[in-house]
Structure formats: C-alpha cells, structure tokens
Amino acid sequence: MMTTTHTALAHVAPASIAAPRSISIFGATGSVGASTLDLVRLDPGAYRVVALTAQTQATELAALAREFSAEVAVIGDPAQHQALAAALAGTKTQVWSGPQGLLDAADLDADWTMAAIVGCAGLAPIMRSLLRGRCVALANKEALVSAGALMIEAAHTSGATLLPVDSEHNAIFQCLAGGRIDEVESITLTASGGPFRQWTLDQMRVAGPEQAVAHPNWSMGAKISVDSATMFNKGLELIEAHHLFPVGLENIRILVHPQSVIHSMVEYRDRSTLAQLGAPDMRIPIASALGWPRRIVTNCAPLDLATIGQLTFEPLDDVRFPGPGICRAAIAAGGGAPAILNAANEIAVSAFLGKRIGFLDIAAIVSQVLARYSPSAPQSLQDVLGIDAEARAEARCIIEAKD
Ligand code: NAD
Ligand code: MG
C-alpha cells in the first residue's frame, strides 16, 4: 500500500530508524545534494551511502564518493567516465556512467533516495525508484511538473513513499501531521518574491544573469535561482502542490512573504491555520525528510523572531510576474501542457543564463511554445519524454529566430 504524503502521518507511528540507514543521492554535487551530505556529516555512523551521482563534475563527485565510502558513483556524462574512474582508483567504489548508469543506481536497494537532479533529466531515475517502491525525498520539482500524474500513480502501485523536500511542500507536509487532507480548506504557498520583487518591468527588461541569481534569502543552484527571479518557481510549486496535496487547484494560493520565515500554511475547514517556520536554510526541510518519521539533530541556526522583528505579506503582482499564472493555466489545461511548460522554461532559462535572451523573454517564450504545441495527454514515461523533447526543440527554434 502506498504511503502518500497526505495520509502518511495519519497512520504511521514514529518508529525507530534502522541504523545505518542506506541512502542514495541523485545530484550529489548540487546545492541540495551538498546540504544533504552536510547533514550526513553530522552523524556519519547513522548512514551507509549506496550511490552518489553528478552530471559532469567528476572531481567533485570522486571526492564525495571517497569521503562517504559510496558503493557506487555515477557520472551522467559518459565522456567523464574515465576521469571519474581514475579519480576513484584504489577505492572500492564502482564507477558507472550515462543515463543507464543512473537507472541502474536507482535499481540498487536503498532505504532513502534523495532526488536532487535539476530539471526533467531527473525524471527517469525517479520513476525507476518509485516503481521499485522506494522512499524518495523529492527536491526535483521539474519531474513532478512534467509527469505528476504518472509519478503519483507509480507510487500508488508500488507502495513507494514520496517525501516533499521543497521548503514549501515540506512545510505543508509538516502542517498536515495529525490532520486529514479532506479537512483542508486551502493551502497557501509563500514566496519570497525573489531578487526583483521591487523592480519595475523596465529594470527587469535589462536584468542580467548575475542579478537574477542573487537571491535575497536562499542560496541555490542557478536554474532555480532564475526561476525564483521570474517567479516561475512559485508556479512550478503550485503544480507540485496540486499533485502532492489534492485540495483542488482553486484552493492553492500564493502569498508573497519577503522574509521567507513562514514556509507555507494549511488552513483547515474550522478556519484554524497551521504554518511551519524556520530560517531559510534548505538543510531544515531536508532534515525533516532524512529523519522521517523521526526528527534528527541539525546544526542549523535557531529561528530568532525577536531579531527578525517583522513578518510581512503582500499579494503577487501578476503583471510583472506572469509565470505563476501561466503555470496555473497549464495545470488547469492538463494533458501535456505542464510538460511543455517545464521544457520551454528549462530551455529559456538556460538561454538567459547564456546571455542569448533577455529576462522578460523567458515568460514570453514559454507562452509561445505552449500556444504552438498541444499534444494529447501523456500515458507513459516515454510519452512525457517525447513531449519534453519536442517542446525543447520548439523553444530552441524561437530562440534561434531571435538571434
Ligand atoms: P544544482 O544545479 O545545484 O545541482 C543539480 C545537480 O544535478 C548536480 O549534482 C548536477 O551534477 C546534477 N545534474 C544536472 N544536470 C543533470 C543531468 N542532465 N543528468 C543528471 N544529473 C544532472 O541544483 P539544485 O539547486 O541543487 O536543485 C536541484 C533540484 O532541487 C531542482 O529541481 C530544484 O528546483 C530543486 N530545489 C532546490 C532548492 C535549493 O535550495 N537549491 C530548493 C527547492 C527545490
Ligand atoms: Mg521552494
């Protein structure tokens, strides 16, 4: 039987965690991967590291595999296989590579898997872990945006557990403890507003990557930092929430909260609202998933509300930030629209980071691709990957025409 995120805490009694807990980390060299390994470093005897993966950073991956005595290290880019093998010579770590290597790593037995690859590239290994009935801590929101229904169905069929790691969804998960999803009136996703919260459209039009990745509260990878600046991140999170917490799309709201202290809220039908608070440090939601269903000790800073002083809130400006509205329309349309949206956004963000397009072009390109291409609803992982590839090609065409 599946342990869904929204019903899990109603019936799972806090049990002792088998020690050491075997863990795999997909995207180990990234921001979320590093935060996860920081937590493992605090209590190394509590974990046995099965697999660590990265796309191109062979040297960094080898150093982590050595430090944590990983059983397997997987490099996504096959061209880096030799470099990784050389860097791990003399160790017991097996070296695998390429998309098949990632799938094989997902096949390995692990009590807990962190899905922290960025983008739809992480979808196939996550699906494999879910089909194997694993406990998957999900940071990789793009996978859920592109293939949410299929992922939830795979988890139901196999009895897998999905633990939300995105800070907002982890907050909602925590606020649902002891409650029931059918007693929820609404969910509020909080948003910092990103680095351009107070910028005019004219200022945003000429904004470059250095300004877009300078998030005021969170330290994150480049792609999600740009998503936070466009606020597509909040739109992707709206779709993520819709799949994880089925309370009806119209009951999922977005509220700008610049201090990033309240990570999200759940309003119950008796009008009692629960919120989860904490410093803006990803190690806190990751620790919640890593220890689940228990609480583990972290060395994160305690929340000091007296120093913070004020928590403020404001509505989302959907004229300057059309991203969340585009995402809401895409998930309402259903079918292949969310996968198209995600693919177009990934290509547009990468073109923006490469200084090929302007900041405001990102939302325009996503809208154009969504308008041009309307496939039927994906029925399988292959269907989603096909839609993803076609939408990427469309987005690239639009960008090339601009050059
Ligand atoms: P990042 O760019 O810092 O790291 C990405 C990781 O994925 C790296 O290990 C990289 O080697 C690997 N990778 C990249 N492309 C790959 C590919 N094609 N195939 C296989 N591996 C690949 O990203 P991040 O900021 O750690 O974010 C990871 C995921 O977590 C994203 O989906 C993001 O939206 C989500 N997330 C991140 C944060 C955060 O604070 N960073 C918060 C919430 C959710
Ligand atoms: Mg988030």
Is the predicted pLDDT of residue 40 greater than 50, yes or no?
yes
Predicted confidence (pLDDT) per residue in 232-273, tens digit: 999 999 999 999 999 999 999 999 999 999 999 999 999 999
- Confirm whether 50 is domain-assigned: no
- Considering the domain boundaries, does residue 302 fall inside one? yes
Q: Whose CA is nearest to atom 16 of ligand 1?
A: 55
Q: Decide if 165 is inside a domain.
A: no
With a 6 Å cutoff on the Cβ, whether 35 touches ligand 1 is: no
Question: What pLDDT is attached to residue 1?
Answer: 34
Edge-to-edge strand list for the sheet holding 252-256: 252-256, 184-191, 262-268, 273-277
Question: Which residue, among 356, 23, 348, has the nearest Cα to 208 in the 3D structure?
Answer: 356
pTM of the model: 0.96
Q: Is the per-residue pLDDT at 192 higher than 60? A: yes
Atom of ligand 1 nearest to the CA of 140: 32
* β pairing state of 94-97 and 72-75: parallel
Question: pLDDT tens digit string along 73-118?
Answer: 999 999 999 999 999 999 999 999 999 999 999 999 999 999 999 9
Q: How high is the pLDDT of residue 218? A: 85
The reply to whether ligand 1 has any atom less than 6 angstroms from the CB of 237 is no
Number of domains present in the structure of the chain: 1
Ligand 1 closest atom vs CA 29? 9
In this prediction, residue 2 carries a pLDDT of 41
51 alpha carbon – ligand 2 mean position (Å): 25
Residue 6 has pLDDT above 50, yes or no: no
The reply to whether ligand 1 has any atom less than 6 angstroms from the CB of 192 is no
60 lines ligand 1 (CB under 6 A): no
Q: The domain spanning residue 182 has which CATH number? A: 1.10.1740.10
**In this model, does residue 14 exceed pLDDT 60?**
no
Closest ligand to C-alpha of residue 223 is 1
Q: Give the pLDDT of residue 13.
A: 42
Q: HSE (CB half, 13 Å, CA atoms) of 73?
A: 34
Q: Is the CB of 54 under 6 A from ligand 1?
A: yes
Candidates 25, 31, 141: which one to mutate for ligand 1, based on the most atoms within 8 Å of Cβ? 31
Does residue 64 line the site of ligand 1, with CB under 6 A?
no
Q: Which domain holds residue 382?
A: 171-402
Ligand 1 pocket check: which of 104, 190, 219, 224 to mutate, most ligand atoms within 8 Å of Cβ? 224
**Is position 27 within any domain?**
no
pLDDT at 17: 63
Instruction: Using the atom order of ligand 1, give the atom closest to the CA of residue 102.
Output: 20
The token pair at 189 is: 């996703």
CB-ligand 1 contact for 31 (6 Å cutoff): yes
Gap from CA of 200 to ligand 2 centroid (Å)? 24
* 113 inside domain: no
How confident is the model at residue 139, as a pLDDT? 98
DSSP character string of 154-197: HHHHHT-EEEE-SHHHHHHHHHTTTS-GGGEEEEEEEE---TTT
Q: Quick check: is 62 in a domain?
A: no
Provide DSSP, 336-382: THHHHHHHHHHHHHHHHHTTSS-TTHHHHHHHHHHHH--PPPP-SHH
Could you identify the atom of ligand 1 that is nearest to the CA of residue 117? 7
pLDDT at 185: 98
Per-residue pLDDT, averaged over 22-43, amounts to 98
Residue 223 Cα to ligand 1 midpoint, Å, equals: 8
**Residue 30, in any domain of the structure:** no
